[in-house]
Amino acid sequence: MTGFIGLMLTVSTAALADDDYSAVEERIRALAPSAESIAISETPIEGILMVQIGGEIVYASDDGRYLIQGRVIDMETRADLTEGAKSELRREVLASADTSKQIVFEPETAEHELMVFTDIDCGYCRKLHAQVEEYNEHGISIRYMAFPRAGIGSRSYEKFVSVWCADDQQAAMTQAKAGADPDPMQCENPIAEQYQLGIELGVTGTPALLTADGQLIPGYVPPEQLKQRLEKLAVAATAD
């Protein structure tokens, strides 16, 4: 319950179906009075509704009595219905976001592009970056976005600002990921905006890997395994 109470919510309310979900919405609003938008829709499960509160998804009984948190898996198809809905929400957020300002490490020919929310001081982020050439060799483009876990104004945030403002952003990123403190620099930068975007997209830790179609892959994944996973996601997307 604490995951959504008091959240700043930015996603527009979707049109409700013809069904009257007012009782459910009333109870949800009592739990989350600061919610600016609530969208309710049916699920394949009789008597269970999906409730979108900003970027978060929960479920409720159609009489408004029970609230359920967690993922819904179709055991017949093995499809993660919750992740599918979240991916759609992420695509909506990305459609209106400025994602052009990135620090990019890419191969000559990219088969897969990943937006990677990263923290300068995160151990697994450093492990990922130490293998960035291997990711590139597997046809994976790494496009960094800032997500200083300690928040805006933290030491990690200031390091990211310095990396962004460096003449050679790639070299500065590599040095910082190796543990060297970047030379302090200030300039106009997108670090705070990218951090807020990460929150809207549901990023809670780093590294967080985001595909072009809104699939979120949390945590470090070795290059070969990541390529295989991306290929499976691409096949699944084609099948859909």
**Residues 200, 10: contact at Cβ < 8 Å?**
yes
Cα torsion through 107, 113, 115, 121, rounded to 10:
-40
Is 149 noted as a catalytic residue in this protein? yes
Is 119 noted as a catalytic residue in this protein? yes
Catalytic residue selected from 90, 126, 149, 165: 149
Helix (H, G, I), strand (E, B) or coil at 113: strand
Catalytic residue selected from 119, 121, 126, 165: 119
Catalytic residue selected from 62, 90, 121, 122: 122
Q: Which residues contact 94 (CB under 8 A, 6 or more apart)?
A: 201, 214
89 token code pair:
């929400």
Catalytic residue selected from 62, 90, 125, 126: 125
**Residues 173, 163: contact at Cβ < 8 Å?**
yes
Is 122 noted as a catalytic residue in this protein? yes
**Residues 99, 190: contact at Cβ < 8 Å?**
no
Which residues are marked as active site?
Answer: 119, 122, 125, 149
